[in-house]
Structure 1
């Protein structure tokens, strides 16, 4: 993939830009193989490749420039805005929506936040596209000062972007390097974006986690379902379940599925999706790391953040009666560490999924089975 921003030195976020895609994928597989070399008996399945461009379903754009000429992208070393609305890794639907959004910013007089001066209102624009081309827009604001103007001009934006399904304002009054705050103000009747992956529809709320690459996310769910269906466990827990993707993918008649997640909003979304699909899956708000070994299920699916499972949960799984663990990881280094702490749960199959082309990052999924006692 060729990128003018990268070639000009404007943005270097894509660290592998200019490297042939086949070489990128081979390098990721080699990296995973080196980290997981201690489990030499595991079967390595062919890696799942991504489109090398236009794969990102979400854009996290810092707002810079002026109210009459806003920029959406990143900040340079002097904390000035750098426009990246033509970024080639973003889905075409996201890029096509930016002109209408910048026009809206000007009409609603949403003054871009000036970090050095600590003045202005609009900090970030967060845009997500569903597989069917619908959009969710979140405007990260310093205060509620501009909400009246946003509501006044919102009908114009909705007319210009009929695919815009969900709009909200997120409040981030603090001056700190984060993308969003804790308070969300809905601005449209619809508050969830339907994300259809094969036969599963997940309802994504503002602030909810969803994988960056929709096609690869679907591949992860397919793989987990195939492994679980092959082993046919009667009970499955999905830890760090988010909006319920893995839990809903493996739900089946006669199988009890429970998803556990710290976010109450994500659990509400997962319950909505399960009810709408008529799937037998329960969801609960809770800390995955605090799950005890009592009444352990037959199988557990884990999809933790980059820090991994940690010693406490690894010990719980190691000392439990759980026979199968499907571990989906975005950090093969913490994955290798966690696997070493669960020696009774041996990797049987491993597969790399290229969630993040043009970077060193990738997802890797491992099927672990308990060794005979």
Structure 2
């Protein structure tokens, strides 16, 4: 029999002493940790114990007996249930402090680099309405096609019309498309038996251009009557330049399938970064916070410290956004991207902007860098912007062997950043500073830019 200091379904009073990296309040009862959603340090809360595990448990807020000075009114309680805005109850200044502390913690505990300066997180003037892309699930609720978001850790849809962290024009577009689909009795997807048709509505909007792309994710290629649906969407949303149908017949959590059907325009829209035009396809990766992207890329420019004489390698280059913004200050930019379609998009974006000193190839950076050295192309600066899993071990090894003067590391995961920085320091680099950037206000996600120099 387990002798825990709390029991499931018990009601107790606790003091919140900390926040986890996921933004949950931490309380301890005789040393036993309880994690509690919607709870902030300094608060006294009456909770119901929901779950008791071997090492920790979970609780639910019943009553806030003493409130934190950093607590603010929430936009919508449903956002906590679905996980869209897990920090919406925390004042924005405190969110930035929380994110800075998260980066400092991993630099100390994981990287073992406590002396590296971690600067204050760069935030937004208005930390709402920033997302330029939405992927909204569609289901049948109360015998009606509904859009919204899934309850956390489930696929139970909670109907929502306003997401607040998205561009308001995108919220409006989703509602208009939903209503058009209802008008023509389009069957929403039923996940339990893999029937129905409309799975997701995806909307992208250019922050600077206002251009809009609509992607309708369906289970089957049939979307009847497209001859009426498409004109109705264009009438309701005249800024739409592209409508794409993507077919995903599999019973899966993955949103996009392999088949794409063009319904209107081309499979692309345009937005700008620092005045440069970028073509974005339905499948392209493109930073979702356009305002903070420019803040982050400015920091990349600062750390790269280009004089016009440098060879720059943009590893994980995607559609070329970082490399092309650096090109005017570099001798030459070489972009490497594992996804062939994205590398082709980068080449197209170079031509679109009349940039002639940038070359993009499809492949692995850890293989491309040695080939450059063999061809007497020695990078002075390497930019890395990996996915959440961080750098491949083989690329870390290659960077150490290649010995560029500077590495600028753009990260979306502090834990893997810290792991990689420790390896690069061991290999002869010095971390000069780390600059967190808040690309995802109201959430616990943290981007950062780090500068490393060869010792």
Q: Same fold (TM over 0.5)?
A: yes
Residue 133 of structure 1: aligned partner: 210
Q: Which of residues 84, 100, 104 is equivalent to 1:33?
A: 104
> Does structure 1 conserve the Cα–Cα contact (< 8 Å) formed by 2:130 and 2:289?
yes
Cα distance in 1 for partners of 2:180, 2:367 equals 45
Cα distance in 2 for partners of 1:2, 1:262 equals 44
Q: Deviations over 1:175-219 (max 9, x none)?
A: 111111122111122321111122222111111101121111111
After TM superposition, list the pairs within 5 Å mapping 1:159-198 onto structure 2: 159-198=235-274
- Structure 1: 5+ residue runs without aligned partners? none
Cα distance in 2 for partners of 1:54, 1:115 equals 30
Structure 1 residues 148-157 or 272-281, which shifts more? 148-157
- With over 3 angstroms needed to count, the CA separation of the structure-2 counterparts of 1:188 and 1:126, relative to structure 1, is same
> Does structure 1 conserve the Cα–Cα contact (< 8 Å) formed by 2:120 and 2:436?
yes
- Structure 2: 5+ residue runs without aligned partners? 1-71
Q: CA deviation at 1:45?
A: 3.9
RMSD: 2.2
Q: Which of residues 256, 260, 263 is equivalent to 2:332?
A: 256
Residue 37 of structure 2: aligned partner: none
Residue 33 of structure 2: aligned partner: none
Residue 47 of structure 1: aligned partner: 121
Q: Which of residues 82, 91, 95 is equivalent to 1:11?
A: 82
Residue 304 of structure 2: aligned partner: 228
- With over 3 angstroms needed to count, the CA separation of the structure-2 counterparts of 1:358 and 1:106, relative to structure 1, is same
- With over 3 angstroms needed to count, the CA separation of the structure-2 counterparts of 1:68 and 1:153, relative to structure 1, is farther
Which segments of structure 1 move beyond 6 Å, counting only runs of 4 or more? none
Q: Aligned pair 1:73/2:148, yes or no?
A: yes
Structure 1 residues 223-232 or 258-267, which shifts more? 223-232
> Does structure 2 conserve the Cα–Cα contact (< 8 Å) formed by 1:66 and 1:111?
no
Residue 366 of structure 1: aligned partner: 450
Q: Which of residues 305, 316, 330 is equivalent to 1:240?
A: 316
Q: CA deviation at 1:34?
A: 1.9
> Does structure 1 conserve the Cα–Cα contact (< 8 Å) formed by 2:410 and 2:448?
yes
Cα distance in 1 for partners of 2:311, 2:129 equals 38
Aligned residues: 370
Cα distance in 1 for partners of 2:188, 2:220 equals 12
Residue 433 of structure 2: aligned partner: 349
Q: CA deviation at 1:292?
A: 3.9
User: TM-score, normalising length from structure 2?
Assistant: 0.76
Cα distance in 1 for partners of 2:73, 2:274 equals 31
> Does structure 1 conserve the Cα–Cα contact (< 8 Å) formed by 2:149 and 2:157?
yes
Residue 364 of structure 2: aligned partner: 287
Residue 337 of structure 1: aligned partner: 419
Instruction: Give 3-state SS (helix, strand or coil) of 1:291's partner.
Output: helix
Cα distance in 2 for partners of 1:175, 1:303 equals 31
Q: CA deviation at 1:322?
A: 1.4
Cα distance in 2 for partners of 1:85, 1:291 equals 46
Q: CA deviation at 1:288?
A: 2.7
Q: Which has the higher contact order (CA 8 A, sep 6+)?
A: 1
Residue 350 of structure 2: aligned partner: 274
> Does structure 2 conserve the Cα–Cα contact (< 8 Å) formed by 1:60 and 1:127?
yes
> Does structure 2 conserve the Cα–Cα contact (< 8 Å) formed by 1:41 and 1:348?
no
Q: CA deviation at 1:26?
A: 0.4
User: TM-score, normalising length from structure 1?
Assistant: 0.92
Cα distance in 2 for partners of 1:278, 1:8 equals 44
Q: CA deviation at 1:226?
A: 2.5
- With over 3 angstroms needed to count, the CA separation of the structure-2 counterparts of 1:124 and 1:3, relative to structure 1, is farther
> Does structure 1 conserve the Cα–Cα contact (< 8 Å) formed by 2:113 and 2:422?
no
Cα distance in 1 for partners of 2:154, 2:91 equals 32
Q: Deviations over 1:300-321 (max 9, x none)?
A: 1010000000211111101213
- With over 3 angstroms needed to count, the CA separation of the structure-2 counterparts of 1:229 and 1:237, relative to structure 1, is same
> Does structure 2 conserve the Cα–Cα contact (< 8 Å) formed by 1:56 and 1:91?
yes
Q: CA deviation at 1:265?
A: 2.2
